[in-house]
Chains A and B, each alone.
Chain A
Amino acid sequence: MNISRRQMLILLPAAAVAWESVLAGTPESSPNYKMTDHWWSMLIDISKCIGCGNCVRACQAENDVPDGFFRTWVERYHVTDWHLENPEVISPDGGKEGFPSVTEDDNGKYFFVPKLCNHCADSPCTQVCPVGATFISPDGVVLIDQTYCLGCAYCVQACPYGCRYIHPQKKVADKCTLCYHRITKGLTTACCEACPTGARQLADLKNPKDPIHEFLRTHNVQILKPQMATGAKVFYNDLDGSVR
């Protein structure tokens, strides 16, 4: 059989593509969960957060988060009068054990802001990973393949929300998975489950019956750092302008 140089140049890449598809195998199927049917997000209602720290403790228990590190944490803001650019922000131990009581301040206001990975649709963290160890899943959750992560911490630097850390024992990047192991089983996240006031709600933007659509339509909802164009999917109701 005579193969011309032109035919060879066409055939070899075709063979390479065919071989690649053989190696990839068939996609794993889950009988009860279809990734393409979901686009996960979270709604946080600042007006309902009481700063109890339940979410932080629940996250640590559910995900074996090491002490001193947080996949979610709560900040307490104190904004005096017109000083929106310089709020006093505290988060003792991530707000895990709550916050010290404060008395009424006629000169300012206090409020709590729970924070977590924003599961950005255009996330800077996934873009800087040199090995493809962090990615956004087909259902909109930013995840880390910890068996593939090098621990270079580029993603930790790239996250504008400070949501990532290097796990002290595993030496790889770690962050909120939106309790992916729960939401794919039809459960809500541990933080939402443990929140006593319903300040945190898991939401599926692809589900037309999800109450988040009505909420977004009827409330003043914001995302953090919209100027970064990250496509953040954690929505905050009643968010003060002083929050960064």
Chain B
Amino acid sequence: MVALYAVGTLTFLGIRAFFVPHSFGQYGHYRGAAITEIAAHPIHFAGHQTCETCHADVQEMKKTGMHAQVSCEACHGPLAKHADDPSIQPAKLDTAVLCVRCHAASAARPKGFPQVAAAEHSNGLPCETCHKPHSPAISAGGAK
């Protein structure tokens, strides 16, 4: 009877070991290895700290302007591939789309946020004719 009980228990443990993932229960009622698997996903946005390691000139230009707190990839999009391999050039941006996404006048936007009725404001001229995106105040000038 004891032998049967022992064999039954060992069989149960064997089957359980086969079906239950090894890391199940490591931290709780789930597969612990899932955490490291999710953490290992690749990144697409490099982060502004990475951009600033090479583009210190742009950071310098930005820091006194209204876009000082706007991270590079907020406008330029995800650039982790460019950060890994600088020969991969980021896509050219279209300011006609980009600027109005944030600055088109709308009563839904916070009152203090700079907004313009784009068509009337520029008479069809591209925004960067007057405003340099990295430091947009007209008096600030700027090279790009």
Question: CB of A19 within 8 A of chain B?
Answer: yes
Q: Which residues of B contact A110 (CB under 8 A)?
A: 106-108
Contact of B107 with A35 in the complex, beta carbons under 8 Å: no
Q: Which residues of A contact B70 (CB under 8 A)?
A: 196
A 37-56 to B, binary, CB cutoff 8 A, 1 in contact else 0: 00000000001111111100
CA distance A109 to B104 in the complex (A): 18
Contact of A58 with B13 in the complex, beta carbons under 8 Å: no
Contact (A190, B102) CB under 8 Å given A132-B24, A138-B27: no
Kindly specify which of B29-37, B54-62, B86-94, B123-131 makes contact with the partner chain.
B29-37
Q: Which residues of B contact A47 (CB under 8 A)?
A: 110
Contact (A51, B30) CB under 8 Å given A16-B9, A194-B73: no
CA distance A28 to B26 in the complex (A): 10
Query: What's the count of A-B pairs with C-beta under 8 Å?
Result: 155
Q: From residue A205, how far is it (CB to closest CB) to chain B in Å?
A: 19
Q: How many residues of A contact B (CB 8 A)?
A: 65
Contact (A52, B30) CB under 8 Å given A23-B17, A24-B25, A194-B73: no
Q: In the complex, which residues 1-40 of chain A have their Cβ closer than 8 Å to any Cβ of chain B?
A: 3, 5, 8, 12, 16, 19-20, 23-25, 27-28, 30, 33, 35
Question: CB of A216 within 8 A of chain B?
Answer: no
- Which listed residue (A61, A135, A145, A194) contacts B71, Cβ 8 A? A194
Q: From residue A35, how far is it (CB to closest CB) to chain B in Å?
A: 7
CA distance A61 to B42 in the complex (A): 11
Q: Which residues of B contact A35 (CB under 8 A)?
A: 35
Question: CB of A212 within 8 A of chain B?
Answer: no
CA distance A61 to B80 in the complex (A): 11
Question: CB of A62 within 8 A of chain B?
Answer: yes
Contact of A187 with B47 in the complex, beta carbons under 8 Å: yes
Question: CB of A185 within 8 A of chain B?
Answer: yes
B 78-98 to A, binary, CB cutoff 8 A, 1 in contact else 0: 100000000000000000000
Q: From residue A138, how far is it (CB to closest CB) to chain B in Å?
A: 6
Q: Which residues of B contact A154 (CB under 8 A)?
A: none
Q: Which residues of A contact B35 (CB under 8 A)?
A: 35, 137, 143, 180
CA distance A53 to B98 in the complex (A): 11
Contact of B102 with A28 in the complex, beta carbons under 8 Å: no
Q: From residue A100, how far is it (CB to closest CB) to chain B in Å?
A: 8
Q: Which residues of B contact A101 (CB under 8 A)?
A: 104-108
Q: Which residue of B lies closest to A98 (CB)?
A: B101
Question: CB of A67 within 8 A of chain B?
Answer: no
Contact of A62 with B2 in the complex, beta carbons under 8 Å: no
Q: From residue B50, how far is it (CB to closest CB) to chain A in Å?
A: 9
**16 residue pairs from A and B, CB less than 8 Å apart:** A25-B23, A51-B108, A52-B101, A58-B45, A99-B106, A102-B106, A110-B108, A112-B108, A145-B31, A147-B34, A148-B30, A185-B39, A190-B44, A190-B78, A196-B67, A197-B69
Having A20-B25, A23-B22, A58-B45, one finds 11 other A-B pairs with CB under 8 Å, namely A24-B22, A35-B35, A48-B110, A49-B110, A101-B104, A102-B106, A104-B107, A138-B27, A148-B34, A187-B45, A196-B71
